Amino acid sequence: MKKRIYLLFLSIFMVSLFNGCATTIPMSSNPNDFVMLGIKTNNSANVSYEFTSKVIDGETKLYTKDKEKIDNNHTAAIVTESATLNRMMKNYMESKFTKLNSDGEIKINIELQDFWLENYGDSVGKAILLGVNNMNTTYVANVKVLVTINYDGQELVKTFQSSADDTRSGQSVGQNAWENLVGRIINNANNKILMLLNAQFEELKL
């Protein structure tokens, strides 16, 4: 038991020691197959499309569960969510609409309003019982976009929000290292935004 307690606090100390460092998150801008296969290409609509963002790419701190507070004990992440979602949207829109131009009658604006990461794990008591190598940490990626569509004389404004999560056990490395896991859940959350957008276009018969 004493060894487990020692290893736990050693782990906490190491996290605090490297707290000033930031880890680059590998980001994927590829829409998944489910999204691409669900696209019904529109060959007739003249569409003007613009992507904007309030999110600044770079270093970001992770939050605790439900965005309660910033987790200063976790390594910061370096992310490129604005650039990544911009590329994903471009790929999607070019597949969805064949007539994209700046003078399109249908005007679509997608604004990335917010993006944040959360993490939470086992309690200290449970961590002592399980040991450092068996501690579980859950990561959550959250994406929020504002969609504005001017179509057929009307303006539709909707907010879409998505999240994706996964759990890492122990001090995993390689593909299960925390930065790779976070990269995957960000991609999943972005793809959910594309699915929500696609469903909205279907509802509008676009």
The pLDDT, as a whole number, for residue 153 is: 87
Residue 7 predicted with pLDDT over 60:
no
The CATH code that applies to domain 2-203 is: 3.40.50.10610
Task: Establish how many alpha carbons lie within 13 A of residue 155's alpha carbon, considering only the half-sphere containing its beta carbon.
Answer: 4
Measured between alpha carbons, how far is 134 from 156 in angstroms, rounded to an integer? 48
The pLDDT, as a whole number, for residue 123 is: 47
Helix 178-203, helix 81-96: angle, nearest 10: 40
pLDDT (average), residues 172-184: 82
In terms of pLDDT, which residue wins out, 89 or 121? 89
Strands (E), 3-153: 22-24, 42-53, 58-60, 76-79, 97-100, 106-121, 136-151
What the block records as the tokens of 64 is 């605790």
Q: What is the mean pLDDT of the chain?
A: 85
The pLDDT, as a whole number, for residue 170 is: 67
The pLDDT, as a whole number, for residue 27 is: 95
Name the residue with tokens 């999607």.
92
Nearest to 190 by CA among 31, 61, 50, 74: 31
Residue 155 predicted with pLDDT over 50:
yes
What is the percent of the chain where pLDDT is above 90?
68
Residue 78 predicted with pLDDT over 60:
yes
- In the chain, where the domains are located: 2-203
Q: What is the pLDDT of residues 127-142, one digit of tens each?
A: 444 455 567 889 999 9
Residues paired with 159 in a beta bridge: 146
